[in-house]
Structure 1
Amino acid sequence: MGTSLSSIQDIFKEPSLKKVASIIKDPPQPGHALFIRYRLQAVQQQSEEDHLKECTTMNSKLNFIVLTLVLFYVSSIKAASVLRSGMDLRCQCIKPTSNFIHPKFMKNIEIIPSGPHCEKVEIIATLQDTKVCLDPESRWVQKIINKILSGSQTDTVQ
């Protein structure tokens, strides 16, 4: 009452498989050559399916490896371009000076606007052999910047 019934296919399949196995084992049986050929075709078809599965698995692994390498390559290029851009992602002037430096000692003045790298405007003066951060709030620095922006002192300070 509580057991499940076998399907009709299963009922006929098991005795049929036993009969086929006995025919394959006994070469004088009339259907021996037919079942051997059928068995070889089934084995060949199974091996082709297995080969196809292996190829598909290998292709998937290869695709994954290639995709991973491409991602590493792209990320390394991106990282290298950020490093080569010359833009530090932090403030360059830790403690700017407000001490007066005569403009004739300055070879160059670089103005770095505020942005995501630093919330303050940075002014870097290049002297003979060093760089000095100038305090943008100092009155003398503001005068020099205004003269540079107005273009009246382009020969003295570049």
Structure 2
Amino acid sequence: MKNICLLILLMVSFQVSADHLTVKHYYVKESIPGTAVTSAYMLINNHGDDDVKLLKVTSTLSERIELHQHVFADQMMKMQQVQSISVPAKGSVKLQPHGFHIMIFKPNQLVKQGQYVDLRLYFDDGVTVNLDVPVISSKTKKTH
């Protein structure tokens, strides 16, 4: 029941707008014990007339944050780093498990449900979006 309430809260209340961009439904998965990575997901809407690219993400949580994508190659799903993530004009891109996502390597603290992680998103048109992202249980199945 606690996870259901948290999911409803996340889906309704978290949205940040900056210029022509809106970022919503954002969350970070809590750390799995024994691992040194976690990941962040969100929906980015571009209300502008031009495509934009997410170029990088920074945080006080980690010095190493990368943009990643899962791809099907050689009959296997593989995760690979990408240089940017395009958000089409008048469109959106969903960062989600098994698709585009943000990888956070070697967090400087254990990431637990109930905490918040600061993320700063940098776009190629000069827009920067600051987020205070909730951490949800790694057992929670989340959809946008």
Same fold (TM > 0.5): no
> Which is greater in Rg?
1
**Larger relative helix fraction:** 1
TM-score normalized by structure 1?
A: 0.18
Bigger fraction of residues in strand = 2
Higher relative contact order (CA 8 A, sep 6+): 2
